[in-house]
Amino acid sequence: MDAGVQAPPLATAVAKATGAEQDRAGRICVNDDLTVPGHPDILVTGDMMSLDKLPGLAEVAMQTGHYAGRKITLESLDETLDKPFKYHDLGSAAYISRGRAVVSAMGMHFGGFIGWVVWLFIHVGFLTGWRNRIGALFGWWYAFTRDLRRERGFTIDDMAVAAYSSQAESAASIPETPAG
């Protein structure tokens, strides 16, 4: 799924400011400890980072975030993390349709409704804190029981509304020309 994922504009701003290279998706090419070449104090994680052709997936974002957190914590204690970042592929999970998903992890494969239940547990389990977990479950239950499709994707209508709102905001922020 990484084929069409573009890095956010922030990546280009950071690349310009640091002189870092960007890959075809606009992600910043980093050293194996996630630092920007020539800038050991700047770490890049997740969708903004390009290393070893890793895809733009949540799993990569979580593992790079965890590594960066450890590195920063140790350095704040005047210690160093000598190990380079290493990605551990824990498997794949994909939502197919309402109540159906496929999961392949640790040599096990699930599909259909069972796959969806496993997919649900994996996603909720990785959220931080019970407040977020309960919030997500409530939101998903609401969308699932009402078959709300807008919870699952971006629609042309959403994009048109977003474009219209941003144009209206820009117009509102243009200062009036002072009279005379």
Residue ranges binding ligand FAD (CB under 6 A): 8, 10, 46-47, 56-59, 61, 94
Q: Which is closer to ligand FAD, CB of 58 or CB of 114? A: 58
Q: Which stretch of DSSP H or E encloses residue 100?
A: strand 100-105
Q: Which is closer to ligand FAD, CB of 53 or CB of 77? A: 53
DSSP state of 76: H
What's the min distance (Å) between Cβ of 147 and ligand FAD? Answer: 19
Q: The tokens of 136 are what?
A: 């997500």
The residues facing 11 across adjacent strands are none
Count, residues in the chain: 180
Positive or negative CA dihedral for 13, 14, 18, 20? Answer: negative
Q: Which is closer to ligand FAD, CB of 8 or CB of 99? A: 8
Q: Which is closer to ligand FAD, CB of 80 or CB of 109? A: 109
What's the min distance (Å) between Cβ of 10 and ligand FAD? Answer: 4
What's the min distance (Å) between Cβ of 138 and ligand FAD? Answer: 20
Question: Residue 104 — φ and ψ, nearest 5°?
Answer: -135, 110
